[in-house]
Chain A
Amino acid sequence: MNTTEQVAAKLASSGKRATYCYQCVAGPDLLTVKIVDGVATEVEPNFAACDVHPGGGKVCVKAYGLVQKTYNPNRVLTPMRRSNPNKGRNEDPGFVAISWDEALDTIAVKLRSIMEAGLLDASGYPKVAANFGGGGTPQSYMGTFPAFLAAWGPVDMGFGSGQGVKCTHSEHLYGEFWHRAFTVCPDTPMCNYVISCGANVEASGGVVGVWRHANARERGMKRVQVEPHLSVTGACSAEWVPIRPKTDPAFLYALIHVMLHEAARERLDIAFLKQHSNSPYLVGANGFFLRDATTRKPLLWDLTRNAAVSFDTPGCDPALEGSFGCDALEIGADAEVLAQGRLEGSPSFAKLVAHMQPYSPEWAAGICDVPAATMRRIANEFLDHAQVGTTIEIEGKTLPYRPVAVALGKTVNNGWGGFECVWARTLLATLVGGLEVPGGTLGTTVRLNRPLAERLESVTPGADGFMHYPMNPTDREHWSARPNIRNAYRSMVPLAANGPWSQALGPTHFSWMFLKETPKGLPTVTLPELWFVYRSNPAISFWDTKNVSATMARFPFVVAMAYTRDETNHMADILLPDATDLESLQLIRIGGSKYIEQFWEHEGYALRQPVVAAQGEARDFTDIATELARRTGLLEEYNASINHGSAGVPLKGADWDFSLDTKRAHGRDGIWDAVCKAASAELTGGKQAHGLDWWKEHGLATKPFPHADWYLYPTMVAQGLRFEMPYQERLYRIGKELGNRLHENDMQWWNEQLAEYQTLPVWKDFPGIWEKSLVKMGGTTKDFPFWLLTSRSMQYSWGNNVGIQLIKEVADNVSGHRGVILNAGIAAEMGVEDGDMVEIATPLHSVTARAVVRQGIRPDTLLLLGQFDHWATPFARDFGVPSMNSLVPMSLELTDATGSGADIVRVSLKRAGAKP
């Protein structure tokens, strides 16, 4: 830690303090804040971190807003109580300032009354709910509040604020299933060719994403951006393919078709397919694997022995194509034996080849509005760059080297069609042996599998030679007929698993929708008796925002940690001003591999420290959590939870114990001092136990993280496991079982979703699903001819920072932040000039926006960046920029089997007036 000692000395002399920014999922960024006369004036990169941080230690634009965030005069700076019992958008809440004592007592009284009456309501749902936005990033700001929630017991965290409908949901669920990939990205530093379907890494990949891709571009990596509009990422790509919205599966299927039906077979990685995928597993007439009658292991056809053998038989050369007869069992859903005896089967690869036969580029061209020649060329470029057969040495390990990858973006990899895209992407990598190897397509982190911090350790052997996956059970005995929370993820979405993150990865819009009408078979969905909201504004960030606002106005008791007033805390009963980013204290784990493109060669911890005094009466969230625990009589459980690790590090390790006395309340600094010591000890194997003061001086400490651990492949090989590609026998089975359970309970409303569980997914008319929804709303495709899409804004995404003037000012330099982007040709046809007002409408709702006339967008597409349409948030309410969230409906028919929807809606457009 010599370097950090020097850094500490330098920082101390410069009047700068080290801290971090984790306002978006692509963080954290390590920074320093310059303090002049006790006032924070300037954010800079923590230059001392440039050697350990994979983005050169740089800091994202959002972090530069933190100084203004601290001193924003619109902040809520005292606890407040609602004086108007009526709630609604048009009701003035009449907030009046109260003391912290009164605020905390009011909440504690409510909590205690809930405790006394029981934590679950008559339907079995938790009476307390909590909502955190920002893709999980609030955890890096909420201090020890997780310990309070853990001490409390069941809490419903499944009310959506964006997760499910705004995330890359199919990628999360299927990604973790197939390769421990909550998010997926190319191995950018070594990749040479990327097909990017709507991935927007230059806007949502944070500093590290931007840094890595800039290096790759300069190095000569070719990226083909397939997207209806020319996004920031499209701009920075070598080629832009303006595809028709929501037709990406057809595009990807055409690439697969070329690779399977036009390219020479040896151009694929045959060895990988045989040894590391389920390609050779024999599939029976009913679509299930043929299994050994005794061991029930899947069979493959060994060309050496000319016989069917178990998949794990050493020294065999499995067939990938052909049809073979053998003695076997075929087992379907609920362990039903479908066939046995002498059965005919084909390798799943052969099934795949036949399955993809109709999906030629000529077929896809009409669907995607992309020339067949373009698709054929891209498929061949992908193969040309794959370098099948080559290897590379990483830290002494020889690994396959496949410098090609496919990246998918939001709206492509969630909602209907998301499964097909994620499957096709994973398959493209599999076909060339480019899954989880240097240069190829990688998973970054796990959120459904455990342990969360150790992706590779989450790999354990499961059935049939694949990784274990913690599916929610679908068998008759264990299926959950009574959901634990309102969005029913455990009952409806086996892939959502049942870990700490699962609640937020279920169908989170169901929590809102079912409050209106609970579908048959589920216990009546009830209002939570107390709802905590932190760094989350679902009244803006979710869909059908008008109805979401109206629904939350029915919540009887809402406690909102409030930075400023906003559209969600407009419905709150108590506002609590928590100390913000530069005012509060927390230690977080950094490094290893994390979201988006966060691949580090170091791991450790970073401290967020109060660099300036908290404004007004704002309080550190840790102190708020401790007080809530004390006043509700949960102090012992709360402290125990911190000791157990809910503040990020278990306080007791092999050779150290910094556990807190569970009997008494500890101050913020005392708690984090213990956490800091435990983190130091963990990092150094118990050799050091630096306390809070040391961390305040140094800001961070790390140890090396092996580059080779970026790749899952070596772990799979070491454990003798195969990737569960291309054939989805397990998904097919659980889909059948889930269907059986639902139908046994007379639940027919999930039938369309059940059809997503396929062995090999077929193309469906995905855009047609939204067109049907339009008709259901009372419109016709002729009258509503445009596809309205959205795209992330680097300046705003996840940041909860619309109230920051600096961010607004600089964001406005990027096209689209002031209105709706439309194609210049269409604008000319409609007589719309840049800056004119236009009306965008569905049959149910309409918004107005300034026209931003650009060439880089399809004529049938409109684009509204980010999420605005604020009506309560100070400063932002004056933007005059709408949001697609005000137009997008929430409905069952637009929900896929993972419980997600996609940000797309059919709209009309008309000129509404001249430039204001």
Chain B
Amino acid sequence: MTRWAMVADLRRCVGCQTCTASCKQANATPPDVQWRRVLDMEVGEYPAVKRAFVPVGCMHCDEPPCMHVCPSTATRKRPDGIVTIDYDLCIGCSYCAVACPYQARYKTDRASFAYGKPTAAEKQGFDPKRLAVATKCTFCADRIDAGMAKGLTPGIDPEATPACVNACISQTLSFGDIEDPHSNVSQLLAENQTFRMHEELGTGPGFYYIWDKKGEEAAA
């Protein structure tokens, strides 16, 4: 089996938002819809304060609360772990949005564009099906599927890899199959200490955060 997962190395992230911008462009999301974004967090009080940049988005959970609550079955999970939304089924009730503990879901009721009227590029990417329904990060499933159909490896070959990972300038984001022990992401998880966001909620996110290398526990 395959389980696609994202790994974000928080030691590397600088909060540049290149992934955010590339996602917006690759997925033609309207203004203020950011399927991938990077948080700018502060922890502690002056002068003992730390600042961290944290990429977030849909975590493609093992137990997606959004899917369980969805009354229309628009939200589903593929066997490879990718949580999808069927824009033709979704009724736009936003129940999934309040069920998601990662604030990953968006609903745009009316078409909106960067400068009011759509530009030539926005016309190319505009999809009326996405209006008034829930949308979110797809792990660029279309790229993965098309790439795999060509025999490419997601996470390794850019053509089969999510746009945010391709764009990431600090090698913070990695993508791959965590069921394959030899994959890039499995190696990263084996070598480093990681956590998942709000793990206590039992959602089983498919998004891992590296915070240190392994073997440093004793020093912690």
A236 CA to B9 CA, complexed, in Å: 12
User: Which of B45-53, B91-99, B198-206 lies on the face that meets chain A?
Assistant: B45-53
User: Which of A154-162, A286-294, A855-863 lies on the face that meets chain B?
Assistant: A855-863
Known: A58-B168, A72-B119, A207-B169. A806 touches B42 (CB 8 A): no
Verify if B220 is at the interface (C-beta below 8 Å from A). Answer: no
Asked if residues B21 and A810 are in contact (CB atoms below 8 Å), the reply is yes
A690 CA to B196 CA, complexed, in Å: 52
A815 CA to B52 CA, complexed, in Å: 11
CB distance from A861 to the nearest CB of B (A): 11
Centre residue among B9, B28, B50, B124 by max chain A CB count within 10 A = B124
User: Which of A42-50, A599-607, A628-636, A720-728 lies on the face that meets chain B?
Assistant: A42-50
A65 CA to B119 CA, complexed, in Å: 13
CB distance from A669 to the nearest CB of B (A): 24
Q: Which of A41, A825, A856 contacts B124 (CB 8 A)?
A: A41
Asked if residues B166 and A235 are in contact (CB atoms below 8 Å), the reply is no
User: Which of A211-219, A473-481, A586-594 lies on the face that meets chain B?
Assistant: A211-219
Verify if B117 is at the interface (C-beta below 8 Å from A). Answer: yes
User: Which of B11-19, B67-75, B131-139, B176-184 lies on the face that meets chain A?
Assistant: B11-19
A210 CA to B47 CA, complexed, in Å: 25
Verify if A553 is at the interface (C-beta below 8 Å from B). Answer: no
CB distance from B154 to the nearest CB of A (A): 15
Asked if residues A71 and B121 are in contact (CB atoms below 8 Å), the reply is yes
Q: Which parts of B82-123 form the interface with A (CB within 8 Å)?
A: 114-117, 119-123
CB distance from A75 to the nearest CB of B (A): 10
Contact with A along B168-190 (1 / 0, CB 8 A): 11111000000000000000000
Chain A residue nearest to B115 (CB atoms) is A73
Asked if residues B172 and A67 are in contact (CB atoms below 8 Å), the reply is no
Contact with B along A33-69 (1 / 0, CB 8 A): 0001101111111010000000110111100110110
> What bracket does the count of chain B residues touching chain A fall in?
35 or more
A70 CA to B119 CA, complexed, in Å: 9
A823 CA to B47 CA, complexed, in Å: 10
A518 CA to B158 CA, complexed, in Å: 59
Contacting residues, chain A, for B37 (C-beta < 8 A): 810, 813
Asked if residues B51 and A64 are in contact (CB atoms below 8 Å), the reply is no
Q: Which of A39, A45, A806, A856 contacts B24 (CB 8 A)?
A: A806
Asked if residues A41 and B125 are in contact (CB atoms below 8 Å), the reply is yes
Contact with A along B1-40 (1 / 0, CB 8 A): 0000000010110111110111011101001101001111
Verify if B44 is at the interface (C-beta below 8 Å from A). Answer: yes
Contacting residues, chain A, for B51 (C-beta < 8 A): 230, 232, 234-235, 856
Verify if B167 is at the interface (C-beta below 8 Å from A). Answer: yes
Contacting residues, chain A, for B158 (C-beta < 8 A): 44-45, 47
Known: A61-B17, A806-B114. A211 touches B42 (CB 8 A): no
A41 CA to B25 CA, complexed, in Å: 7
Known: A234-B51, A823-B46. A68 touches B14 (CB 8 A): no
Asked if residues B169 and A60 are in contact (CB atoms below 8 Å), the reply is yes
Q: Which parts of A841-890 form the interface with B (CB within 8 Å)?
A: 854-859, 875
Asked if residues B115 and A72 are in contact (CB atoms below 8 Å), the reply is yes
Asked if residues B115 and A815 are in contact (CB atoms below 8 Å), the reply is no
CB distance from B120 to the nearest CB of A (A): 5
A58 CA to B115 CA, complexed, in Å: 28
Asked if residues B20 and A813 are in contact (CB atoms below 8 Å), the reply is yes
Asked if residues A217 and B11 are in contact (CB atoms below 8 Å), the reply is yes
Contacting residues, chain B, for A230 (C-beta < 8 A): 42, 49, 51
CB distance from B106 to the nearest CB of A (A): 13
A68 CA to B28 CA, complexed, in Å: 12
Asked if residues B26 and A814 are in contact (CB atoms below 8 Å), the reply is no
Q: Which of A74, A794, A855 contacts B42 (CB 8 A)?
A: A855
Q: Which of A41, A203, A859 contacts B121 (CB 8 A)?
A: A41
A211 CA to B163 CA, complexed, in Å: 18
A37 CA to B115 CA, complexed, in Å: 21
Asked if residues A806 and B25 are in contact (CB atoms below 8 Å), the reply is yes
Q: Which parts of A356-411 form the interface with B (CB within 8 Å)?
A: none
Q: Which of A207, A810, A857, A859 contacts B20 (CB 8 A)?
A: A810
Verify if A746 is at the interface (C-beta below 8 Å from B). Answer: no
Chain B residue nearest to A50 (CB atoms) is B158
Contacting residues, chain B, for A74 (C-beta < 8 A): 115
Known: A60-B18, A235-B51. A37 touches B167 (CB 8 A): no
Contacting residues, chain A, for B116 (C-beta < 8 A): 73
Asked if residues A61 and B124 are in contact (CB atoms below 8 Å), the reply is no
Some 26 contacts from A to B, beta carbons below 8 A apart, are A39-B123, A40-B121, A41-B25, A41-B125, A45-B158, A58-B168, A58-B169, A67-B25, A71-B119, A210-B14, A214-B12, A217-B11, A232-B51, A235-B14, A794-B16, A795-B17, A805-B31, A806-B21, A806-B24, A809-B34, A810-B20, A810-B24, A815-B42, A824-B45, A855-B45, A855-B49
Q: Which residues of B contact A (CB under 8 A)?
A: 9, 11-12, 14-18, 20-22, 24-26, 28, 31-32, 34, 37-40, 42, 44-47, 49-53, 114-117, 119-125, 158, 163, 166-172, 213
